[in-house]
Amino acid sequence: MLITFFGVRGSFPVPDKNMLRFGGNTSSVLFEKNVNGKKVYLFIDSGFGIIQAGKYILPSFFNGTASKEFSILFTHLHPDHTEGFTFFAPNFITGIKIHLLGPSALKKNVGKVLKEKMAPPTYPIEYKDLKSERFHGIVEDEQKIYITSEGKPVYSAGNNKIVFEIKVMKSFAPSHPQQGCLYYRITDVETKKSAACIWDIESRRGGDQRVIAFSKDADIMIHDTQYTDEEYDSDKMIVQGFGHSTYTMAVENALKANVKMLVGFHYNPAHTDQKLIEISGEINKKLQENGSPLIFHLSAERSSIEAENEIIIKDRES
């Protein structure tokens, strides 16, 4: 599978010249897998990053190299995870089928929440007027979801050819919706490589036992890294309880879960490229000094991680 980051920023977008290296768009990650010459897509979250993802995948629908049916799994419905959906190009193409799966919010599915959001006078286009065909589903704790070779989500494998197997963990992080935030572990059924998506979580010092068990032995862990220790412990601007983790918390979870690669994600909108490079350098230095095989990698907009037989980092071309 190929994992491409289209939005890696937390909370709100930051168009800033000091953040061009890692990018300023909010959360959206694309998992894709080529099955007999046709790509199967699976998105996690539709923050502003999904807008550029839309442009990236659009040609594949027109030249027949991708399934026109795919899913977006939502971790939760905060704006930095949903706001790009309105401007997502596949929504304006007839024949595209999108499955929107996520938490229930006040007994509403993702579709009902988006429908209420996308309505005049605050939105120019109504949800019902989008050209894509949309299907809605509610995801629960410990659920399993399978993505078929046609890109369709099913809840038991049955006789379908399965491309991705997804495990779900639901947790009730501080400052995240009362209905909880969802974390997904996605496994490429062919290669057995897996990636755990752990963001919008306020982990615990020393490690979060549920996250550790959920991510055990994963090849890749993409983890919320919103704060430095100094920011998290500051008495000036109090961020404890905001529902986000520190880099140290992410490293502790990754080490205890025995993952091979930890990927920083959901960056603080105040952290410049230089700051992120400094933080990453310190983490990798410490890991090396301790003889740990864990690699810490910074996700960057339009960069990918190829997880086939080997795990290869692919930087963006421009």
Which residues are near Zn ion by CB under 5 A?
A: 10, 78, 80, 200
Nearer Cβ to Zn ion (10/23):
10
CB 243 to Zn ion: min, Å: 6
Sign of CA dihedral 23, 14, 176, 101: negative
Nearer Cβ to Zn ion (3/8):
8
Nearer Cβ to Zn ion (69/200):
200
CB 285 to Zn ion: min, Å: 28
Nearer Cβ to Zn ion (171/187):
171
CB 26 to Zn ion: min, Å: 7
CB 176 to Zn ion: min, Å: 5
Nearer Cβ to Zn ion (177/207):
177
Tell me if 198 sits within 8 A of 299, measured CB to CB: no
d(CA 202, CA 200) in angstroms, rounded, equals 7
Nearer Cβ to Zn ion (80/188):
80
Nearer Cβ to Zn ion (81/302):
81
Written as one string, the DSSP assignment of 184-229 is: EEEEETTT--EEEEE-S----TT--HHHHHHHTT-SEEEEE--B-H
Q: Which of 93, 85, 72 lies closest to 30, judged by CA?
A: 72
Written as one string, the DSSP assignment of 112-179 is: HHHHHHS-TTT-SS-GGG-SSEEEEEE--TT-EEEEETTS-EESS-TTSPEEEEEEEEEE--TTS-TT
CB 271 to Zn ion: min, Å: 14
CB 203 to Zn ion: min, Å: 14
* Paired tokens of 266: 């959901």
H-run or E-run covering 269: none
Q: Shortest Cβ contact with Zn ion: which residue? A: 78
Nearer Cβ to Zn ion (69/80):
80
Amino acid code (one letter) for 235: D
Tell me if 248 sits within 8 A of 255, measured CB to CB: no
CB 232 to Zn ion: min, Å: 16
CB 63 to Zn ion: min, Å: 34
Residues 6+ positions from 252 with CB-CB distance below 8 Å: 203, 205, 206, 207
Q: How many residues does the chain have?
A: 318
Q: Please state whether 36 falls in left (phi above 0), alpha (psi between -120 and 50) or beta.
A: left
